[in-house]
Chain A
Amino acid sequence: MRFFHRSKRGRQASEMERSGDIPLNDDLESNIKQLKKELGYSPDLVVRSFDLGKNSDFRVAVVYMEGIVDEKVLNQWVMKTLMIDSGEFDQKISKEEALELIKKSALSVGNVESHRSWNQMIDALLNGQAIVLGEGWSEAISGDTTGGETKPITEPQSQTVVRGPKDSFTETLQTNLGLIRRRLKTPNLWVENTNCGKISRTKVSMVYIKGLANEELLNTVRKRLEKIEIDGILESGYIEEFIQDKAWTPFPTVFSTERPDIVSGNLLEGRVAILVDNTPFALVVPTTFFQFFQSVEDYYQRFDIATFTRLIRYFSYLVSLVTPAIYIALTSFHPEMIPTPLLIKLIGQRKEIPFPALVEALAMEFSFEVIREAGVRAPRVLSGAVTIVGAIVLGETVVRAGLATPSMVIVVAITAIASFASASFPISISARLIRFLLMLLGAFFGLFGILLAMILLIAHMNTLYSFGTPYLAPFAPLIVNDQKDTLIRVPIWALYRRPKSIHPVQDTKVPEGKRHLTKRRKGRRPR
């Protein structure tokens, strides 16, 4: 594992902050005292000092942070080996020899390292490693005992599927990496770690497949991760805002997911994933607008059905974007475009409404947003009540009181349902903001205003890039190959090329010569 491959860089940045990096003292007592002082006599710092071996006065101390170490590992493989199994220490040996011995054989946990600098040691300690200090050593030995209480792997909450794996990322980085590695058993799955956040010192891993991901892309990601200057990273959202190409846009330019299979699939296409400790959401770059509409289930289902459902998702996004605006535009600018019977009905309904259509629409949409927000934020126990009040107030009473037309309620409902249908949450939020803008334009200029706004919207999306990939690729610019997996999805065997929009190093999945085999096999019955 290459977990700490790049960790030095993060450290160097912080060295300036602390009162200079000082080497370790060779006096055990003063080391311990200093350590306690540095951590503010925190009660979760456990110091266990004892004599090594039998009849020995060679004192060592094991130091660790309670709660973030795996107690079992610690007891079994650190404490026990040092205190009981250390038969080799029967003979009197020099301190230096003891150090070598402990490093080499006595500590039977993984990832044993020695630290000479004070800061290195504290970093290791705070990462959940057990530190062994010895009398007369100017060196500390750390063993990997990272662990502690973590949440088990659960079903994904936000990206659910009917068919497909039911595991999702947890808050532990190691577990998450394991979930990916379990799917991609290749030595080319490379992980680069850095620490972000001056205070939080959060571990951030950049994951990619060597030989697939574009070098230029990797450098960009590295550079942007390094540039992050903040005190603490609590969620991958922090990282997202730092590394995205453009801040002033309602559209997400970094893809986030809680599903390891989505991450693995993206890695296979040559993208880079960024995993952040304590976050069950992984970031994937580069992304395009269309990626947000691709549910992972599209690849687990038959391709024709997948195409159909995918088209429905695009359609419902459009619906959730423009329906209220078009309703306003049609009723207040272009009644000639409404079929006659419907128009007569609408006029009849509108007759007794005291507000103009625009006000009515804005109020209804706004109150729906309020109800939605209340439904999300309210404690679980209350959310039922919120829904009931919302449904009754919006759906029934308002209409009965003659404050809104039934057709407006239908429009709001269609918009709401449609906005839930998109595969990815961030993209459906973007529609919420734009919708209000479109409604205003629709009320000022009718369809002309809406159309103009849509042109501007597309132009705006065309100014966006996600790590060098145009946001509206593969439509602008047109990439014919990528059309196989954008609006539609062709059968998996026909998808033998990786998306060109992200410039993978190898763009074919199946070698040229064998492609016809996969196709032909499809035609035959299995024997």
Chain B
Amino acid sequence: MSKILHWLCIASILFLLTGCWNYRELDDWSVVTAMGVDKGEKGKRYRVSYQVVNSGSLAGGGGQSGRGTGTRGTPTVTYSSTGDNLYETIVNTNLKAPRKLFFAHQRLLLIGESVAREGIEHLLDRLERDEHGRLNIIVMVVRDGQAESLINFLSPLERISAYSLSETLKVAEQFTGMNWVTDLSEVINDLSSKGKEPLVSGVKLIGDQQMGDQQTNIQESRLSARTELNGVAMFKKGKLVRWLEGERARGVAFILNRLQGTLLTLGCDGSEKETVGIYLNRFTTKRSIRVRKNKPVIRIDVNSEGSIGEMDCPLNLEDPRQIERLQQKSNQKIKKDIREAIKTAQKSKSDIFGFGELLHQQDPQTWRSLKKDWPRHFAKARIEIKVHTFIRLTGMRINTYPNPR
């Protein structure tokens, strides 16, 4: 028994020695939800803005008590600092903010276009190295503007604009297919792979730029300043080289097998005014690559399924041949999208689709010989595309209502 007491004594001494080293109260933290990287001024490399949650303004839900009724302020507060690397800006921010920045809940990384054009190669290291860092932070590039303006932005429906943006992106991924979520680990993997270049969705602040950070902005039903997803940034060697717009971006999504849903608008026979909208919601893309006579041949097989979402011309859909014709038309349209996407990429010699990586996976031997000069090989690769579209359903009606005139 005395031995146990012995141990207990040692244990209790240990306890007395402890100073709660890592003990930190919750209210010692500032929760960062988004981070925006812009080009720095005054010789510094970066100017980074941190969107910090103003918990006092958000937590009051449920009317737990009447105290602290005064002005609660905006839901998020922005702190900006300059520095030669990200960590320096974080440390410098503590000259301005009363609490330590806490990155475990960061949802969004916004990169200003100017920074993206200069290169993001090692920008992401800090985010990865942080002990609270998450690999599923969503990355976006702010088009034609400063990331800071979006960090400042106050959004009406989601009170934290970082969430508003990330939710918008997720919805867009599901329904338009022209933008999609790219997270930190994906960007890092693409940056560090020889056979793939990253693609990052773009976002833009439109309207009255000055109004974005005003509380009054969200008190109007028609916001004077709004955010809009706009294009997908194409990188090459870590630098933004060009933007892919709308349908071209969708072509990329087709190839990457990242589509979750998209709308094809096809013209009706004869008339350009009248259209048929086909909503596609099931996709599989099979890609293969082989090298023939030192020239890569890329083969893309797309299968997609969908239904008719809208039709404002009197096609007789009771006739299966009509459906067949629509399917043919869709195939052509998708093929065109894909071809254009690849052409764009080939023109700028940037393998955003990871065909190099695919070659690595399917034929490591050949890859080793082509690896060094892959962008050039990619640029002259031959493309074979096969598309099969199936229109399974027509919605709640079959034909449109008749037009007697």
A–B contact, 8 Å CB criterion (strictly below)? yes
Chain A residues at the B interface, C-beta cutoff of 8 Å = 248, 331-333, 335-336, 340, 343-352, 356-358, 399-400, 402, 406, 440, 443-446
Let me know if B23 and A343 touch, CB within 8 A.
no
Residue of B nearest to A449 (CB): B18
Q: Are A347 and B59 in contact (CB under 8 A)?
A: yes
A416 to B183, CA, bound (A): 43
On whether the beta carbons of B29 and A335 are closer than 8 Å, the reply is yes
Chain B residues lying within 8 Å of A350, measured Cβ to Cβ, are 25-27
Query: Are B15 and A444 within 8 A (Cβ)?
Result: yes
CA distance A184 to B126 in the complex (A): 74
Indicate with 1 or 0, residue by residue over B1-12, a CB within 8 angstroms of chain A CB atoms.
100100000000
B26 touches A344 (CB 8 A): no
Residue B104 at the A interface, CB < 8 A? Answer: yes
Are B20 and A443 interface neighbours, CB within 8 A? yes
Q: Which of A332, A399, A400, A444 contacts B24 (CB 8 A)?
A: A332
- Pairs across A and B, CB under 8 Å, 18 listed: A332-B25, A335-B29, A335-B102, A336-B104, A336-B132, A343-B26, A343-B31, A345-B58, A345-B59, A348-B55, A348-B60, A349-B59, A351-B27, A352-B67, A399-B64, A406-B64, A443-B20, A445-B18
Whole-angstrom distance between the alpha carbons of A394 and B113 in the complex? 55
User: Does A347 lie within 8 Å of B105, measured CB to CB?
Assistant: no
* Contact flag A356-B25 (CB < 8 Å), given A336-B104, A344-B53: yes
Question: For the complex, is B68 an interface residue (Cβ under 8 Å from A)?
Answer: yes
A446 touches B22 (CB 8 A): yes
Which residue of B24, B64, B65, B67 contacts A333 across the interface (Cβ within 8 Å)?
Answer: B24
Do residues A347 and B55 form an inter-chain contact, with CB atoms below 8 A?
Answer: yes
Q: Are B26 and A335 in contact, with the CB atoms below 8 A?
A: yes
The verdict on A347 contacting B29 (CB below 8 Å), with A336-B132, A340-B105, A402-B67 known, is: yes
Contacts of B64 in A (CB 8 A): 349, 399, 406
In the complex, chain B residues whose CB is within 8 Å of the CB of A248: 1, 4
Question: Which residues from A are CB-within-8-Å of B207?
Answer: none
Within 8 Å of chain A (Cβ to Cβ): is B395? no
Inter-chain contact B20/A444, CB cutoff 8 Å: yes
Closest chain-B Cβ to A124's Cβ sits at a distance in Å of 43
Shortest CB-to-CB span from B164 to chain A, Å, is: 14
A345 x B61 contact (CB < 8 A): yes
A336-B105, A343-B105, A444-B15 known; A357+B58 contact, CB < 8 A: no
Given contacts A350-B25, A444-B18, contact A344 B4 (CB under 8 A): no
When C-beta atoms are compared, the residue in chain A nearest to B30 turns out to be A347
Shortest distance between the CB of A142 and any CB in chain B (Å): 46
Check if B56 is an interface residue, CB within 8 A of chain A. yes
CB-CB < 8 A to B4: which residues of A? 248
Asked if B65 and A399 sit within 8 Å, CB to CB, the answer is yes
Interface centre among B56, B105, B132 (most CB of A within 10 A): B105
Are A333 and B68 in contact, with the CB atoms below 8 A?
no
Cα distance A459–B53 in the bound complex, in angstroms: 44
Tell me how many residues of B have a C-beta within 8 Å of chain A: 30
Interchain nearest-CB distance for B132 vs A (Å) = 5
In the bound complex, residues from chain A placing their C-beta under 8 Å from that of B18 are: 444-445
Within 8 A of A (CB), among B42-61: 53, 55-56, 58-61
> Are B15 and A357 in touch, CB under 8 angstroms?
no
What chain B residues lie within 8 Å of A346 (beta carbons)?
Answer: 26, 59
Using Cβ atoms and an 8 Å threshold, which residues of chain B touch A357?
25-26
Would B31 and A347 count as touching, CB distance under 8 A?
yes
Expressed in whole angstroms, the minimum distance between the Cβ of A225 and any Cβ of chain B is 24
CB distance from B7 to the nearest CB of A (A): 11
Given contacts A333-B23, A343-B105, 15 further A-B contacts (CB under 8 A): A248-B1, A335-B104, A336-B104, A340-B107, A343-B26, A343-B31, A344-B31, A344-B53, A345-B55, A347-B27, A347-B55, A358-B23, A400-B65, A440-B15, A445-B22
Q: Mark B93-123, 1 if CB is under 8 A from A, else 0.
A: 0000000001011010000000000000000
- Minimum CB–CB distance for A342 against chain B, Å: 10
Name the 6 nearest CB pairs between A and B, nearest first. A348-B59, A336-B104, A347-B55, A348-B55, A340-B105, A336-B132
Chain B, residue nearest A356 (CB): B25
Q: Is the CB of A344 within 8 A of B58?
A: yes
Contacts of B68 in A (CB 8 A): 352
Give the complex CA separation of A446 and B1 in angstroms.
30
Nearest-Cβ distance from residue A443 to partner chain B, whole angstroms: 6
Chain B residues with CB under 8 Å of A351's CB are: 27, 55-56, 59
* Chain A residues whose CB sits within 8 angstroms of the CB of B31 once the complex forms: 340, 343-344, 347
Interface string of B24-39 (1 = CB under 8 A from A): 1111010101000000
| B26 engages A333 (CB within 8 Å) | no
A437 to chain B: closest CB distance in Å?
10
* Bound Cα distance from A443 to B15, whole angstroms: 11
Residue of A nearest to B64 (CB): A406
Closest to B5 in A: A248
User: B23 is contacted by which of A340, A344, A406, A444 (Cβ under 8 Å)?
Assistant: A444
Using Cβ atoms and an 8 Å threshold, which residues of chain A touch B56? Answer: 348, 351
Q: By the criterion CB–CB under 8 Å, are B26 and A331 in contact? A: yes
What chain B residues lie within 8 Å of A443 (beta carbons)? 20, 23
Nearest to A336 among chain B residues (CB) is: B104
**Which residue of B is nearest A446, CB measured?**
B22
Among B58, B105, B107, B132, point to the contact of A348 (Cβ < 8 A). Answer: B58
Residues on B with beta carbons closer than 8 Å to the beta carbon of A343:
26, 31, 105
A352 to B69, CA, bound (A): 13
Interface mask (B119-157 → A, CB under 8 Å = 1, otherwise 0): 000000000000010000000000000000000000000
Closest CB in chain B relative to A372 CB, distance in Å: 25
A340 to chain B, nearest CB (A): 5
Which A residues lie within 8 Å of B15 (CB)?
440, 444
Query: How far does the alpha carbon of A455 sit from the alpha carbon of B26 in the complex, in Å?
Result: 27
Q: Determine how close the nearest CB of chain B comes to the CB of A353; give it in whole angstroms.
A: 8
Structural contact, A344 and B25, CB atoms closer than 8 A? no
CA distance A358 to B102 in the complex (A): 21
Q: Within the assembled complex, what's the spacing in Å between the Cα atoms of A440 and B58?
A: 31
* Complex partner residue of A332 from B26, B107, B132, CB under 8 angstroms: B26
Q: How far is the CA of A400 from the CA of B24 in the complex (A)?
A: 24
CB distance from A401 to the nearest CB of B (A): 9
